[in-house]
Amino acid sequence: MIILGHGIDLVEVSALRRWIEDPRDPLLPRCFTAEELAEIGGGPNRIERLAGRFAAKEAVLKALGTGFGAGVAFKDVVVRRKPGGPPDVVLSGGAALAAKGLGITCWRLSISHAGGMAIASAIALADPAQTDLSSTGPK
């Protein structure tokens, strides 16, 4: 596999909590799909899990080089995790188009939170059989 991009993001959990609780800006329905919210669940660590997922979405878009806006929405990046498995990235819309244009075929994602902070690292990978090694982009 060939690394085509890397993104990292750090989120202050208390800042995300204030943003979520602000009635003027409904972050949860704008940023997370119903499936993501169901998977994140409730409980005392919910805000940390939300912060980690938010950081992961930001890290993915940094790896893509797009950021949010310009045809890429928060919900275009879905972060999910099967029990006992690593987090996974599923793209749609503008994010999927950007990934396809770059030749990205898979992702490696890591999420962690401690000390009131959440961090995520996303690595965008390409299959070398479908990438022209003589240039900086895919075939």
pLDDT in tens, 110-128: 999 999 999 999 999 998 8
Structure tokens that stand for 124 in this block: 């965008």
Establish if 40 belongs to a structural domain.
Answer: yes
Interior angle at CA 102, CA 99 and CA 104, nearest 5: 55
Identify whether the C-beta of residue 50 lies closer than 8 Å to the C-beta of residue 20: yes
Establish if 136 belongs to a structural domain.
Answer: no
Establish if 137 belongs to a structural domain.
Answer: no
Structure tokens that stand for 49 in this block: 């899990």
Number of domains comprising the chain: 1
Establish if 78 belongs to a structural domain.
Answer: yes
CATH of the domain at 75: 3.90.470.20
Establish if 74 belongs to a structural domain.
Answer: yes
Determine the structural domain holding residue 24 and report its residue range.
2-130
Per-residue pLDDT reduced to its tens digit, 51-80:
999 999 999 999 998 877 778 888 999 999
